[in-house]
Amino acid sequence: MSESKQQFSLEGKVAVITGAGSGIGRAIARRFAASGAMVRILELNLAEAEESCREITAAGGCATAHACDVANQEQVKATFADIFKKERVHILVNNAGIAHIGRLETTSESDFDRIYRVNVKGFYNCMYACIGHLKDNGGGVILNMASIAGSTGLADRFAYSTSKGAVIAMTYSVARDYLPNRIRCNCISPARVHTPFVDGYIQKNFPGKEKEMFEKLSNAQPIGRMAEPDEIAALALFLCSDEAGFITGTDYPIDGGYFKLHG
């Protein structure tokens, strides 16, 4: 009896992942590499990207780091052009993003513009640079990291929620427009994920109350805890694999029951 094909294999595929120097992006990069993908990390912080690559290569995977500010279209186009000279890209994961806390009246124009440049324009820049290549090479997969903030009301997240709502809308638009080109486009909307950002936020804003605040933030999800980055990475792997070949134009909440069960 012959061996069955490994499920969710990305063997022989090249995956570009933005913001994979830490947190969710790093977890996705590790998971993709472990499933056979050749990972190309686009990251503002090159040292963090190189650390992710060292982890991946130490585990037997393949990864390279590329310094790139996703908010700068010329940098993005040049970085993708350099990658395209060497290989075909099959998968783009738009993950690089920044957070902001504040309601409308406490969100300055500079705050709003900063969030927009990275969380919206950054995703646009990468898709814009990649879409022609995917069309010319028979299709591919685009996966955008959104958030439950883009589709439900979260307190004090005005600019961030706005940006993630835009990500969801862009996902639907790209999925619809490029159906004839065999390009699938989906997005993932996590609730709170336990990353270094969360730990840093708690330490900065609640000194001496770290444990109490961690429990409070964890219990905001009906399931009673935050997600782990590897859990988001597992869903990302499925959506970018051939097993998800019939799925496009979908926003996947991974939220511990928040969207349907909260309150």
Quick one: which of 210, 190, 199, 204 has its CA closest to 143?
190
Residues 6+ apart with CB under 8 A from 219: none
Q: Minimal CA–CA distance to 159: which of 177, 174, 147?
A: 147
Q: Give the separation between CA 1 and CA 106, rounded to whole angstroms.
A: 65
The one-letter amino acid code at 235 reads L
The answer to whether residues 66 and 83 touch, using CB atoms and an 8 Å cutoff, is yes
Strands (E) across 100-182 are located at 140-145
Active site residue 201: no
Using CA atoms in the order 222, 196, 232, 91, what is the torsion angle rounded to 10 degrees?
150
Joined together, the tokens standing for residue 89 give: 């890209």
Residues in the chain: 263
Spatial distance between the Cα atoms of 261 and 120, rounded to a whole number of angstroms: 28
Query: Which phi and psi (to 5°) does residue 4 adopt?
Result: -75, 150
Q: Which of 97, 42, 89 is CA-nearest to residue 68?
A: 42
Question: Do strands 91-94 and 183-190 pair parallel, antiparallel, or not at all (unpaired)?
Answer: unpaired
State the catalytic residue, choosing from 124, 160, 178, 258: 160
Angle at 19 between CA 16 and CA 24, to 5 degrees: 100
- The residues that are catalytic are 160
